[in-house]
Amino acid sequence: MKINEITAFPIRINIDSHEEGKERPAVIDFGDYFVDEQAFTSIYSKHHETTVIKVETDAGIVGWGEAQSPVSPRTTQVIVEDLIRPLIVGRDPFDIEAIWTRNFGAMRERGHPTGFYIDALAGTDIALWDIVGKAVGKPVHKLAGGRYRDKIKLYAGLGGTNPEKVADMAEEHVGYGYQALKLHLLLDADGVAEIASAVRKRVGPNIMLMCDVHMRQSVTSAIKLGRALEKLDFTWLESPLVPDDIPGAVALAEALDMAVAIGEWSRTRYEMREAFERRAYDIVMHDIARTGITEGHRIGTIADTYNIPVAPHVGGGGILSVASTVEYSASCNNFMIMEHGHHANDHKNAITAAPYAPKDGFFELTEKPGLGIEIDQALVEKYLVS
């Protein structure tokens, strides 16, 4: 069996107004995208955007993957067409690790060991795993490490700036069956602590709570915030500092009793090596639609050698990001919990032939081959970015 084609579909799906985290501070608006007016943080899309990847074989088996592209999915498309395709067409799809290594090396000296290029490689890797699973009639998790668990525990993400409104959303999500929630809070340390307190009071002591502050804190303010969250029995403080501040992350992890969770922006074990060696975090949360399943498992294995649990990030990823993360989580021995957007799942399913959704705060594993999800190409093409 040989690969005979790879196609990248940059898609954009309008987001329902019920989307979690809709309420946020003042922004600079530039059409389809926006960025916070005062905080030097990420550009966001007003829509759901990503790049869906289709790999075809001469045996008629098709694999689907996703290169997570929350902004500018056409950038990823060009990388797939110009750089990934020439190096994989004609190869055996079972050579997954060799393909990843060859493609990674192809741009390493050029100064592209991360970013859009690795995202494109990750999406390709996911599609290859889907092909291999379908070829042998087994789910990906059976081939990528084996089934460690029968269902995948999820935490639901939500956010806002008003304590009572965020508490209302938290109560709503507990009603959907989630036993864990993550708050996306884009305020200063005092503002975050106020909302966190309101949520804890509303949901009670038995719900697992986490807090993501999206790099908006200094080391000093993060320590202050962490100590406030410790009193509220929060499980982790996520992404408190800018990614480059490894010394600051080390100081923060040492100062707090609660866990610090970091890693969504990192795509390879090479990129994460220093952070592991210096114990810059307590929980690693790489994103499978940025690492791929192959490199995702390498990262998870290294984390295990440091006794660090894995809580896979999904963020703005689409339905193939979700499905591949479920398969990864099932086959990761040091898995802890997986991210999920409850209301976002509706628009992410806009490209599926049948809904792919959790039940009562868990994804249940199946015996379906590959990723266990069916993509409708006509629906993918419906949402193409022009």
Residue range 111-157, pLDDT digits in tens: 999 999 999 999 999 999 999 999 999 999 999 999 999 999 999 99
Structure pTM?
Answer: 0.96
Q: With cut-offs at 50, 70 and 90, classify the pLDDT of residue 41.
A: confident
Evaluate if residue 275 carries a pLDDT over 50.
yes
Q: 26 or 278, which is more confident?
A: 278
Q: What is the DSSP string of 27-47?
A: EEEETTEEEESSS---EEESE
pLDDT of residue 17: 46
Domain 3-139 fold: Enolase-like; domain 1 (3.30.390)
User: In which band, very low, low, confident or very high, does the pLDDT at 23 lie, cut at 50, 70 and 90?
Assistant: low
Mean pLDDT of the chain: 96
The alpha helices in 89-115, defined as continuous H runs, are: 96-108
> Is residue 200 over pLDDT 90?
yes
Residue 20 above 90 pLDDT? Answer: no
Q: What is the pLDDT of residue 37?
A: 85
**pLDDT band at 39; cut points 50, 70, 90:** confident
Average pLDDT score over residue span 153-167: 97
Share of residues in the chain with pLDDT > 90 (%): 94
**pLDDT exceeds 60 at position 30:** yes
Phi, psi (rounded to 5 degrees) for 46 = -80, -5
- In total, the chain counts a number of residues equal to 386
Residue 19: the pLDDT is: 45
pLDDT on residue 24? 66
The per-residue pLDDT for 22 is 54
Which contiguous run of DSSP H or E holds residue 301? helix 288-305
Both tokens of residue 263?
């890693």
Mean pLDDT value of segment 355-360 = 96
Q: Cβ–Cβ contacts within 10 Å for residue 132, how many?
A: 23
Q: Kindly report, residue by residue over 70-119, the tens digit of the pLDDT.
A: 999 999 999 999 999 999 999 999 999 999 999 999 999 999 999 999 99
Confidence of residue 16 (pLDDT cuts 50, 70, 90): low
pLDDT confidence of residue 33: 93
Neighbours of 338 (CB within 10 A): 27
Q: In this model, does residue 347 exceed pLDDT 60?
A: yes
What's the pLDDT score for residue 40?
Answer: 77
Report domain extents, the chain: 3-139, 143-371
Give the 3-state DSSP-derived string for 123-151, with helices as H, strands as E and coil as C: HHHHHHHHHHHHHHCCEHHHHCCCCCCCE
Closest CA to 104 of 79, 71, 133: 79
Lowest mean pLDDT among 19-28, 59-68, 272-281: 19-28
143-371: CATH number: 3.20.20.120
* Mean pLDDT, range 24-47, rounded to an integer: 86
Q: Mean pLDDT, to the nearest integer, of 19-32?
A: 73
How far, in Å, CA of 17 to CA of 248, rounded? Answer: 37
pLDDT of residue 15: 83
Cα–chain center distance at 334: 17
CB-count exposure of residue 334 (10 Å: 0-12, 13-18, 19+): middle
